[in-house]
Amino acid sequence: MASVDIQGVTKDYGAVKVIRGVDISIADEEFVVLVGPSGCGKSTLLRMIAGLETISGGEIRIGGRIINDIPAKSRDTAMVFQSYALYPHMSVFDNMAFSLKLRKMPKAEIEAKVHAAAGILNLMDYLGRSPRQLSGGQRQRVAMGRALVRAPQVFLFDEPLSNLDAKLRVQMRTEIKALHQRLRTTIVYVTHDQIEAMTLADRIVVMHDGIVEQIGAPLDLYDNPANMFVAGFIGSPAMNFVPGTLRREAGKVWLDAAGNTRIPLPARVGGENGRKVALGLRPEHFTLGGGDDSVEATVEVVEPTGAQIEVFATLAGQQICTVFNERHPFRPGERIRMRPSADKLHLFDAETRARILPGAH
Amino acid sequence: MKLSMSPRVKRSILCWLLLLPLVVVILFPFGVMFVTALRPRDELFVFPPTWAFSRFVWTNITEMWEKVNFGTALLNSIYVSVSSTLLALLFGIPAAYALSRFRFPGKGLYRQFLLVTQMMSPIVLVLGLFRLMVVFGLVNSPNSLVFTYAAFNLAFTIWMLQSYFNTIPHELEEAAWIDGASAFVSITRIFLPLAVPAMVVTAIFTFINSWNEFVLALTMLRESDSYTLPVMVFAQVAGRYQIEWHHVMAATLMATVPVAVVFSWLQRYLIRGMALGAVK
């Protein structure tokens, strides 16, 4: 087990810069999730840690040791691939024992380690089978078992759950988290699924276009997104953005949005009068009801999910999504009044897209 | 019983009817070979020709074997075909691996070059190759054929292997590297076992090409002791006052047997290898 330090790392293929200077410090025993849309460089970064891609600039250290020029086989990492990459011509046992055999470990010891890992992952009955005789979830477990037997310094996961169906994905997610709580190995986990990131991570690294947008604990990112990208990426359904002009007059603050819509804002929000801003409102931060601080919206589509009702509505010419816990009989075309929670809304600069902190005029 | 047939059955009957002429064209020479090889000598030239004959004369084969020195030619053919197949694979596998896995300047050009070499008929090159073998002192040696057959089959071998290698996921080798394997170990223990089907198919084609090749063999081999089977059979026909057709056909019949054996033996590996496939 070891820490991973990524300092000023860049990656370019000729003129194309895939990673443009990334700094991340991952503590020992930490579970860090790299998340971002496809093409943001998260998988490339993981492959650079593993030694499958060269490092164009900067340094990566594992346990204090610079590994830039150390080949993959000597880095003592273990990786779980999206495609599992199980050796199809070997049995489950041999798949898991391969790395130990390469280290010339005594047979009895190999057997003990493989059985121990298989026990943890409920694979004892499948050790003699070949990968093609296994279901998706079982293959996923074998891939993890192959990583587990090695007791490596760092576990690397590259979108390991993407090939599983929704139900199994949730189940495996829980298993991975339980496994980390039990083994306390440093884990770097790549996914494009922000729910996976939120549920698994000690800390999330949000990446976009080859740079780190924000690093933080899941709920911290959710509550205090640094910019519109992180705000829109973390949380499902995604945050609504209403563009407009900030008005500050006689102690009152409001947003002038399209179609003469006036959205009242609490006095604590930052930003000076006349600034072009985007108001960020999470779907779950609305309550039904009128009043001075309420806004009017037109219901477009209603999607009950059971626990909640998702309502897609038009507010200031903008389609927004809201989520309500109460069982109000929403009808398409209906005009509803609702109040955004004053303490949960976010204001972003329309140009820099960075968050305007409360009180920063 | 209902007379109507399902569309599937109808379609397959139609397919067979359409294929029938082709089957006849392919099987007719085999039929002639078979009945000529095994009929008594005095029934060879009857008019009108018939398929039927009075008795099977298996001694035609043993007589032929002794008379034309069949055993030596068979061994020569086996030596040349096996060696050239192995040689083609020995050079083809690394070349195909490099084409499939590495980026290097001139890669596209190299692939095109391989394709262009396939467009040249060996006959055009026979004279040049002969002079080359004279320089190397390999005229009349089966080794001259080993080298030339391997060279002629190399382009095909590389193309064939490369297209299959492309289907073997990179991740498998990457997983092996991360597991602590060197490049050599990951190739020999992970990559090559998975490439067996492609290697078998390529080996079959190269083997059969080498086994049947005639023009180069006729040019390079001067003495009957070094003849391969096609040249040996040809020698029974060309420039003779009397052609023993039953012996010629017995020899051709015997010459087809090893190919059939090799094919059916390797076919099992082929099917087993293909079933192995599937990574996900």
- Any chain B CB within 8 A of the CB of A99? yes
Closest CA to B219 of B124, B120, B116, B83: B124
Q: Residue B267 sits in which domain range?
A: 60-279
**3-class SS of residue A252:** strand
Window A:110-129, CB contacts with B under 8 Å? none
pLDDT of residue B260: 84
Q: Is the omega angle on the peptide bond into residue A237 within 30 degrees of 0, that is, cis?
A: yes
Instruction: Give domain status of residue B55, yes or no.
Output: no
Q: What is the pTM of this model?
A: 0.82
Closest CA to B147 of B163, B162, B136: B136
CA distance to partner chain A, nearest, from residue B235 (Å): 48
- Most A CBs within 10 Å: which of B167, B177, B179, as the mutation test of the A interface? B179
- Any chain A CB within 8 A of the CB of B123? no
Instruction: Give domain status of residue B181, yes or no.
Output: yes
Task: Count structural domains, chain B.
Answer: 2
B236 and B126 share one domain: yes
B187 and B248 share one domain: yes
**3-class SS of residue A75:** coil
Query: Distance (Å, rounded) from C-alpha B8 to C-alpha B180?
Result: 53
- Most A CBs within 10 Å: which of B171, B177, B178, as the mutation test of the A interface? B178
Instruction: Give domain status of residue B30, yes or no.
Output: yes
Which residues does A206 contact at the CB level (< 8 Å), separation at least 6? Answer: A35, A36, A212, A213, A214, A215, A221, A229, A230, A233, A234
Yes or no: say if A314 and A259 are a contact pair by the CB < 8 Å rule.
no
Yes or no: say if A53 and A60 are a contact pair by the CB < 8 Å rule.
no
Yes or no: say if A302 and A286 are a contact pair by the CB < 8 Å rule.
no
Yes or no: say if A45 and A53 are a contact pair by the CB < 8 Å rule.
no
Closest CA to A248 of A271, A219, A222: A271
Asked if the Cβ–Cβ distance from B174 to A81 is below 8 Å, we say yes
Asked if the Cβ–Cβ distance from B177 to A102 is below 8 Å, we say no
- Any chain A CB within 8 A of the CB of B225? no
CA distance to partner chain B, nearest, from residue A72 (Å): 5
Query: Distance (Å, rounded) from C-alpha B131 to C-alpha B129?
Result: 5
- Any chain B CB within 8 A of the CB of A56? no
Give contacts of A98 with chain B, Cβ < 8 Å: 176, 179, 181
B93 and B217 share one domain: yes
Instruction: Give domain status of residue B106, yes or no.
Output: yes
CA distance to partner chain B, nearest, from residue A126 (Å): 17
Instruction: Give domain status of residue B251, yes or no.
Output: yes
B138 and B190 share one domain: yes
Question: Minimal Cα distance from A147: which residue of B?
Answer: B179
What CATH number does the domain containing B109 carry? 1.10.3720.10
Question: Minimal Cα distance from A72: which residue of B?
Answer: B178
Q: Say which of B179, B182, B278 has its CB closest to residue A88.
A: B278
B26 and B69 share one domain: no
Q: Say which of A88, A99, A132 has its CB closest to residue B180.
A: A99
Instruction: Give domain status of residue B158, yes or no.
Output: yes
B235 and B129 share one domain: yes
pLDDT of residue B48: 81
Q: Which strands make up the sheet holding A335-340, listed edge to edge?
A: A286-288, A335-340, A295-304, A309-315, A318-324
Give the alpha-carbon dihedral of B147, B150, B152, B153, to 10 degrees.
180
How far CA B202 is from CA of B43, B100, B156, B250, in Å, comes to 42, 16, 8, 29
Yes or no: say if A228 and A71 are a contact pair by the CB < 8 Å rule.
no
To the nearest whole percent, how much of chain A has pLDDT over 70? 99
Query: Distance (Å, rounded) from C-alpha B62 to C-alpha A156?
Result: 68
B32 and B143 share one domain: no
Yes or no: say if B158 and B93 are a contact pair by the CB < 8 Å rule.
no
Give the alpha-carbon dihedral of B125, B131, B136, B137, to 10 degrees.
120
Asked if the Cβ–Cβ distance from A73 to B193 is below 8 Å, we say no
Q: What number of C-beta contacts closer than 8 Å exist between A and B?
A: 71
- Any chain A CB within 8 A of the CB of B169? yes
Give contacts of A88 with chain B, Cβ < 8 Å: 172, 194, 276-279
Instruction: Give domain status of residue B168, yes or no.
Output: yes
B18 and B93 share one domain: no
Give contacts of A87 with chain B, Cβ < 8 Å: 172, 175-176, 190
**3-class SS of residue A143:** helix
pLDDT of residue A351: 92
- Any chain A CB within 8 A of the CB of B167? no
Tens-level pLDDT at each residue, chain B (280 residues): 555 678 889 999 999 999 999 999 999 998 989 888 888 888 888 778 888 888 888 888 888 888 888 999 999 999 999 999 999 999 999 999 999 999 899 999 999 998 888 888 878 889 999 999 999 999 999 999 999 999 999 998 998 899 889 989 989 999 999 999 999 999 999 999 988 888 988 888 899 899 999 999 999 998 889 999 999 989 888 877 888 888 899 999 999 988 888 888 877 766 655 554 433 3
B13 and B81 share one domain: no
CA distance to partner chain B, nearest, from residue A139 (Å): 8
B134 and B26 share one domain: no
- Any chain A CB within 8 A of the CB of B8? no
Asked if the Cβ–Cβ distance from A81 to B194 is below 8 Å, we say no
Query: Distance (Å, rounded) from C-alpha A294 to C-alpha A42?
Result: 41
Q: Say which of B176, B185, B194 has its CB closest to residue A89.
A: B194
Asked if the Cβ–Cβ distance from B178 to A52 is below 8 Å, we say yes
**3-class SS of residue A336:** strand
Q: Say which of A51, A89, A102 has its CB closest to residue B179.
A: A102
Question: Minimal Cα distance from B177: which residue of A?
Answer: A73
B33 and B104 share one domain: no
pLDDT of residue B3: 58
B200 and B272 share one domain: yes
Question: Minimal Cα distance from A74: which residue of B?
Answer: B180
Asked if the Cβ–Cβ distance from B175 to A51 is below 8 Å, we say no
Yes or no: say if A258 and A295 are a contact pair by the CB < 8 Å rule.
no
Tens-level pLDDT at each residue, chain A (361 residues): 789 999 999 999 988 999 999 999 999 999 999 999 998 999 999 999 999 999 999 999 999 999 999 999 999 999 999 999 999 999 999 999 999 999 999 999 999 999 999 998 889 999 999 999 999 889 999 999 999 898 899 999 999 998 888 888 998 899 899 999 998 999 999 999 999 999 999 999 999 999 999 999 999 999 999 999 999 999 889 999 999 999 988 888 889 988 888 888 888 888 888 899 999 999 999 998 878 788 889 999 999 998 899 999 998 888 999 999 988 888 999 999 998 888 888 999 999 999 987 765 5
Burial A195-218 (b: 16+ CB within 10 A, else e): ebbbebbebbbbbbebbbbbbbeb
Instruction: Give domain status of residue B43, yes or no.
Output: no
Query: Distance (Å, rounded) from C-alpha B26 to C-alpha A3?
Result: 70
Query: Distance (Å, rounded) from C-alpha B10 to C-alpha B16?
Result: 10
CA distance to partner chain B, nearest, from residue A78 (Å): 6
